[in-house]
Amino acid sequence: MINLKDLNKAQKLAVEYDEGAHIVVAGAGSGKTRVLTYKIAYLIDKGYDPDGILSLTFTNKAANEMKKRINQLVGSKAENIWMGTFHSIFAKILRVEAKSLNYRSNFSIYDAEDSLSLVSNIISDHEIDIEGVTPNSIKHRISLLKNHMILPKEFRQHHIQNFIDEKIALVFDEYQKRLVEFNAMDFDDLLLKPIELFNENSKIHQKYKKKFSYLLVDEFQDTNKAQYELLKLLVTREGKICVVGDDAQSIYSWRGANLSNMLDFEKDFSKAKVFKLEQNYRSTKTILAAADSVIKQNKDQIIKTLWTDNKEGEKLTLVKCSDEKDEGYQIARFIKQEISKKKLSLKDFAILYRTNAQSRVLEDIFRREKIPYRIIGGVEFYKRKEVKDIVAYLRVLSNQNDEESLLRIMNFPQRGIGSTTIKRMIVFARKHEISLFDTMTRVFEVIDIKERIQKNVKQFKVLLDKYIGLKDKLSVGELSRALVDELGVLRMFKAENTPESTTRWENINELLSALSEFSNSNKEAKLEQYLEEVSLVSDIDLYEGEQNAVTMLTVHSAKGLEFPIVFISGCEEEVFPLSNRFSSDATLEEERRLFYVAVTRAKQKVYISHARSRYRFGEVAYQSRSRFIEEIAPETLEEINGTAGRKSGSRKSKKEMYYEYFENVDYEDFNQDNKTLKPGSRVMHDKFGLGKVTLVTGAGEMTKATVVFEGNNVKQLMLKFAKLKVL
C-alpha cells in the first residue's frame, strides 16, 4: 500500500475517502496538489484502472507536475491516467468522435487572435458598422455567451435588447457557421461540443460515462457553466467525483468562471462530504493573518480558518509613493536592500500588478537600475507574428478548410497575391459553395484576376499540395524544416540584416527546434498533435522560474505560484480594486479575492505600494489608497514614507548604490548600458537616419527600442544589434 505518512490528518482523510462525491476546500498553500497527487496514487493502489481515472486541471504545467509526482509514487501506471486541462482532454475526445458532429478529426483550434480575425472578416464581408463597438468587444461578447452556453438561436430568441444586439447576433450566427465550414473550433467549442455530443448521442455518452470510473478536478472554483455541466454528464451513478478548490481564490468571472459551482456543490450532490484543508505550509503567521483580515470582509464564502506552524515573520510593509516612477524606484531600492540583508537571488522576488499596462514604468526603472527582470504574460512565443505565420502553414497542411490560416499565408512570403485578388477569390468561393483552398485550383475561372497573378496562385497551390502529400511520410520536424527551407523565410530574414529580422530569424529557428524535439520525443507523433499542443499552451505553462531575474506579472497570472518576497504595486482605488463606486458587490468581492491571492503568494515578506498620483488615460490622476489596505489588520502592517527614504539615499552615487547592494549577488549581468537611452532620446542610425525614441522595453540582451525616424518611419530595434548613437 502507498505510504501516507507525509500527509497531515485532514489531507489523509480526504485522500482515503471513497464513498462518493466529495469536495476538498483547500486554503492557499495548504497542499491541495499533494492531496490530488496522493489521491490518484491511492486510487490506483486500491485497484482503480489508471485509464479510467479522469483528472482535470487548468494549466498544462499543473497537469505535468502532478503526473510526474504520481509517477514517483506508483511508477509507470501513471502514464495511462487521463490527465490534462479541460480543453486538452475534451479536444482529445472530440478528435475521436468528430464525425458525429459533422467535423473531421483534423479540425483546427482557433485561439483568441484567430477568433478576432474571423470576427473582423465577417464584419468586413457583411459591411456591418456599429459605432463605438470594436471587433474585439464583439469577440469577447460571443465568448462570454458561449461560456454561459448561449448559442446564436437562443441569443436571438431571448437576449436581444437593442440595435447593437441585433448586429452582434448576425456576427455570432455567421461566426458559428464559418467555424463549421472551416473545420475549426474555438476554445469555447472544446467545452460546448462535447456537451452537444453527449446530449445528442446516448451511445457515445454512455461509452465515456462507463469509461471514467473516477473524476478529479483541480481549481474547481474556476469552472464555468459548461465545465460543470460536463462533469455532471460524466460522473458515475455512485458519484465518484472529487473536486478541490478554494472559493477565496475564485478570480475568473470575467471569462465565465462561476463561484456558485463550488458554493452549490453540496446541493447538486446531496450526500457530498466536505473536507477542509486549513493548515498553510507556505506563508508566515503574519502574512496569513493579514490575508485573512481582508478576505473575511466578503459575504459569499465557505468559512475556514487558515493556520500555520511557520514562524511569526515580518510585518507587511506599506510604502507610500509620490507617483508611479517613484513607486518603481522604491521597489528597486527594497529589492536591493533585501538581497543585501538576506542574501537572496533575484528570482526570489515577484512584482504583482492589477493590469499589464502597469509594467511599463517598472520596466523603465529596472533597466536604469540595472536589475534583470522577466515579464510573464507579455507577447507569448507562439503569438509572435513570424511564429504564427509558420504555424498557419502547418495548420493548412493539416486542415485545408482552415480559411483563416490560409488567408494569413496567402501572400507570405510575398508572392504577388494582393488583397483585391483574395477578395475576388472569396466571393467566388462563397458563390460556388466551395472552400478558398479549392478555389485556388479554379482561379482561372475567377473574373478580373490577371494571368500573372493566376499563375502565382497556382504555384502556391502546387507548393501546398506537395507538403500535404509529404505530411504523413515525414516526421513533423523534417516536414517543417523542408517547408521553411523551400519558403526561403530564413534566407529572407537573414538578407534583411536588421535587428527585427534577426529576432524573427531566431524565433523561427526556435520553432523548428521545438518541432524537432516534439518529433524526437515521440516518433509516432502526428502534426495534428503538435498543433493542438501549440493552440492550448499558455504563458504560465512556459514559466520555469529558473532564470535569475525578478518576475513581473499580473495577479491573475500569479495564481498557483509562490515567491519568498512579493511586491503588490498600484494599490489605489480604481486601480486595485479595478472598480469604482458603480461596481456591483460581486465585482468588489472578486477584486478582494484577487488581493487575497496576491498576499498569499508570499512566503516570507509582502510589500504593498501606492502612489498619490498616477498617469491614467493620458493625464495625471490623484489617487486615494486602496480600501483593501484599510482592511488589513493594523498589527500586521507597518507604514513608511518611501519617498523620504529615496531622497536621503540618493546622495550616494548610482555606482556606490550598485556595488553596495549587488557586490555579493550572483546574477547574469547583461552588460547592456543604455542608461542614457530613454523615451524622448534623439538617436542616429546608420540606415534609418535621425530618430526619436518613443518606448524602451525588455531587459539585458532582449532590450528593444521603438524609434520614429524621419518620414514617420517607425522601427522596433534590438539594442544589442542596432548600434544606435544617442545624440
Please report which helix (H) or strand (E) contains residue 726, including its range. strand 725-726
Burial 286-312 (b: 16+ CB within 10 A, else e): bbbbbbbbbbeebeebbebebebebee
- Spatial contact of 566 and 355, defined as CB atoms under 8 Å apart: no
Q: Is there a catalytic annotation at residue 33?
A: yes
Catalytic site residue from 97, 111, 114, 218: 218
On whether the CB atoms of residues 336 and 657 are closer than 8 A, the answer is yes
Residue 647 cell numbers, joined: 531622497
CB 50 within 8 A of CB 80: yes
Question: What are phi and psi for residue 84, nearest 5 degrees?
Answer: 170, -175
Beta-carbon neighbour count of residue 249 at 10 Å?
21
Burial 36-64 (b: 16+ CB within 10 A, else e): bbbbbbbbbeeebebebbbbbbbbbbbbe
Cell of 513: 527546434
Whether the CA torsion 537, 540, 545, 551 is positive or negative: it is positive
Based on the residue annotation, tell me whether 206 is a catalytic residue of this protein. Answer: no
| Annotated catalytic residue within 12, 18, 33, 706 | 33
Is 297 a known active-site residue? no
Peptide bond into 679 cis (omega under 30): no
Active site residue 32: yes
Q: Which residues pair with 718 in a beta bridge?
A: 704
219 part of the active site: yes
DSSP string, 170-221: HHHHHHHHHHHHTTEEETTHHHHHHHHHHHH-HHHHHHHHHH-SEEEESSGG
The residue annotated as part of the active site, out of 32, 39, 276, 347, is 32
HSE, side-chain direction, 13 A CA sphere, residue 613: 7
Question: Which of the residues 249, 284, 503, 623 is marked catalytic?
Answer: 249
219, 222, 324, 573: the catalytic one is 219
Name the pairing type of β-strands 725-726 and 682-685. antiparallel
333 flagged as catalytic = no
- CA–CA dist 465, 226 (Å, integer): 39
Catalytic pick among 367, 395, 601, 614: 601
3-state secondary structure 51-95: HHEEEEECCHHHHHHHHHHHHHHHHHHHHHCEEEEHHHHHHHHHH
Active-site residues, by number, are 32-33, 218-219, 249, 601
